[in-house]
Amino acid sequence: MRYWLMKSEPDDVSIDDLAQRPDATVPWYGVRNYQARNLMRDQMSVGDAVFFYHSSCPQPGIAGIARVVSPAYPDATQFDAASPYFDPKATRESPRWLNVDVRFVRKTRLVALAELRARPELANMRVLARANRLSITPVDPAEWHFITRELMGLEDDGI
């Protein structure tokens, strides 16, 4: 099992929205970065654990935990001309963009970006790297355990 941090704008899909969806599952649509797409396609697996991160909001940070519940498959928004994620170069025969489905596991207290940055144990965390803009980043197992146990106060890894 691998660990991930996946960013979502809470105005689009928040941790609370995810919890209330049918089957508490959502396709992680709209990824338009080749590196993030390749992580989903080549490294993510069903069962992987996810920090659900709220971004582009007044208080960005980890808001909950989810799990990957599908392999990568074509993102339908790339074919929808009315979608902000439409890609005119994508075709159904040769899709350019993928998504995975994630399922709600639990809401946690918000672990703010500033709190993550303040912890020397997380200094190498990819989401904290200078100029990082990726919406999906791998999380080292030691970082996952530190965040879930020390910062979130969970007795287990939260999954």
Percent helix, strand, coil in the chain, to 5, is 30, 25, 45
For residue 51, what pLDDT is reported?
98
What gap in Å lies between CA 61 and CA 58, rounded to an integer?
Answer: 10
HEC string of 54-65? ECCCCCCEEEEE
Q: How many CB atoms lie within 10 A of CB 16?
A: 12
The domains found in the chain, sorted by start residue, are 3-143 (3.10.590.10)
Q: β-pairing, 25-27 with 73-74?
A: unpaired
For residue 130, what pLDDT is reported?
87
**Taking a C-beta distance cutoff of 8 angstroms, is the pair 64, 106 a contact?**
yes
3-state DSSP assignment of residue 103: strand
The residues, any chain, with a CB within 8 Å of residue 105's CB and separated by 6 or more, are 49, 64, 65, 66, 67, 158, 159
What is the distance, to the nearest Å, from the Cα of residue 116 to the centroid of all Cα atoms in its chain? 16
Sheet architecture: strand order including 49-54: 25-27, 101-112, 61-68, 49-54, 3-8, 136-139
For residue 1, what pLDDT is reported?
94
Q: One digit per residue, pLDDT tens: the chain, 159 residues?
A: 999 999 999 999 999 999 999 899 999 999 999 999 999 999 999 999 999 999 999 999 999 999 999 999 999 999 999 999 999 999 999 999 999 999 999 999 999 999 999 999 999 999 999 888 899 999 999 999 999 999 999 988 888
Tell me which H or E stretch contains 110: strand 101-112
